[in-house]
Structures are given as structure tokens and as C-alpha cells.
Amino acid sequence: MIVAVEVLAAAQLAVISMLVVVLTVRRIALARADRRRDLLLKRYRLTAPLVSLHEHNEGPRSVELLARIVAGETIALVSDAGMPLVSDPGFVLVRACLQEGVAVDVLPGPSAVTTALVASGLPSDRWLFAGFLPRKRAELTRLFASAEQTLVAFESPRRLAATLATLAAVDPERPAAVCRELTKLHEEVRREGATALAQHYGRTTPRGEIVLVVGPAAPGAGARAEALGALRELVAAGARARPAAGAVAKLAGVGANELYRALSTERATPAE
């Protein structure tokens, strides 16, 4: 994709995904460093000075860059794999520019979020982007159980199997898609129910960047998730799983065997 910026005004910030050509920019702030960046800059003979922008320097670097913009420079905030600010640095700089009345132009490019949503085959009329999924199982369970619309999120390859096991415990047949290395050479999209996906990735650890897309929660998933959480706490306190599942199921109005199987699936897949 070629993005040509020929008429940027002075004292401006351009937020760009997959930068190829910027004709009037005097400085480039990198929201993510990558070897592909160097290939692009070399290929199109871009010689603007480069500065890093990441989670460890975003505060002071934003102050520095804002001062340069106010003094008259035009700066490009670039991420060469994804969109700046979307689970990437840049929010502090953009907010500072807007507070100072600095013009901010956004030039969109490929996004793993919307690409995965479309590729998943799941409902796209209402959806939620959750960024990186929570690491704590209880928080993850609540998120899956309460999602009334399609859920799109990033996940680590190392935690994917445990995350899918948690999803399967909430709703074994929940439709989902694991999208890997989107728009790259080894792109892969696997669309199955939660249990099938959990079993597959329990045997095979994927590589690369993962986007997980999960279909809307079925009616009753919230009550089931709460019952599973109660059962989990009882077992952690020393109760035997099978009798505890029966007691919780009677109080919550869900199936005892279903609860017991969900807990067994969780315990068989260690969390990262």
C-alpha cells in the first residue's frame, strides 16, 4: 500500500499505518521498530531523521516531539505493522497535540483487528475490541461470559491454549477464529468451536502474532460462568470437585456434569 502525503501543513502530526511515502515530513517518530521499516525507508529513499517512541519513553518523548511540532516541524508517527495507538504507543503524543490545538491527520492502512473480524466469518454488525486479553482466568471468564457481541482481541501464542480452554469452559461450542500472521507469508485462519480450538492448540503452540475472534455469548453463559467461578473457589478451598459441582449446579440452575467437565478442562490446561 502506498500512502502519499504531499500537502501536509506545517506544525502538524501525521499518524500513519504502513508508511511508504511522506514527501514533506521532516522527522519520523517510530511507534514500533521492525526490520521491515528499514526496507521501506531504503526502498523509497526516505531520509527523515528517526526517533523511537515506545512505552518506556512515551512521556518525555512526546513532550520533545510536541515542542518540535509547535516550532513548525511536521512529524509522522509511524507503525509499520498495525495502527499507532491500537495496542501500540502514540496516545500520549496524539492527546498532547490535540490539547495544544495541533492538527492531527490520520492515514489508515491495514489493521489486524478489522482484517481478523472479516476473515472470522462471525457477526460484524456489533463488535468489541478488547486489546490484549486479561491474564487472570477469573477476569477472562467474566469477559467471555459477558460479551454480547463479537469479541476481537490480541493474544500471546504462549497463552492461546489456556485462553481457549477458558473459553471452552464458559461455552464449549462457542464459535471462534484464531487468526495468525495476517497479511503475511504464513497467514492462517482456523475457524472452529471453542473446544475444538482448545484441543488443537493444546497440542500445537502457534508462532507469530495472534488475533482471536470470539462469537457473541449464548444466553445463560453469564450464569454458567458465575457458577464455574464459585465451583473453582470451592475446589481451591479444599472441596472435592464432583460433589461441589452438584451443590453449585443445584443453586445456580445449571448442569452439574457440565460444570464438572468445564472445571476439568481448565485444570488440564495450565495457565501461562
The domain spanning residue 224 has which CATH number? 3.30.950.10
Mean pLDDT across 229-257: 86
Do 87 and 174 lie in a common domain?
no
**Which CA distances in Å does 210 have to 68, 90, 178, 193?**
36, 22, 7, 17
Pairing type for strands 12-17 and 103-107 reads parallel
Do 215 and 161 lie in a common domain?
yes
Do 102 and 119 lie in a common domain?
no
Q: What is the pLDDT at residue 271? A: 54
CA 269 to CA 89: how far, in whole Å?
Answer: 32
Do 91 and 194 lie in a common domain?
no
User: End of a domain among 107, 123, 145?
Assistant: 107
Do 102 and 158 lie in a common domain?
no
In one letter, which amino acid is 34? Answer: D
**Which CA distances in Å does 113 have to 2, 38, 54, 160?**
20, 24, 21, 17
Instruction: Write the pLDDT tens digit of every residue in 92-117.
Output: 988 999 999 988 888 777 788 999 99
Do 99 and 141 lie in a common domain?
no
Do 9 and 128 lie in a common domain?
no
DSSP 9: P
Instruction: Write the pLDDT tens digit of every residue in 45-70.
Output: 777 777 888 888 889 999 998 998 88
Q: How confident is the model at residue 6 (pLDDT cuts 50, 70, 90)?
A: very low
Look at residue 243 and give its three-state secondary structure.
Answer: helix
Q: What is the pLDDT at residue 49? A: 77
Comparing 147 with 23, the larger pLDDT belongs to 147
Comparing 200 with 260, the larger pLDDT belongs to 200
Strand locations in 156-241, DSSP E? Answer: 175-180, 188-193, 210-214
The domain spanning residue 94 has which CATH number? 3.40.1010.10
Q: How many domains does the chain have?
A: 2
Total-model pTM = 0.71
CA 204 to CA 198: how far, in whole Å?
Answer: 10
User: End of a domain among 87, 107, 127?
Assistant: 107
CA 245 to CA 249: how far, in whole Å?
Answer: 6
Do 267 and 148 lie in a common domain?
yes
Instruction: Write the pLDDT tens digit of every residue in 202-228.
Output: 999 999 999 999 999 877 666 777 788
Do 152 and 88 lie in a common domain?
no
Q: Which domain holds residue 93?
A: 4-107
Radius of gyration of the chain (CA): 23
CA 136 to CA 142: how far, in whole Å?
Answer: 10
User: End of a domain among 92, 107, 122?
Assistant: 107
Q: Decide if 224 contacts 254 (C-beta within 8 A).
A: yes
Angular region, 172: left φ>0, alpha ψ -120 to 50, beta rest: alpha
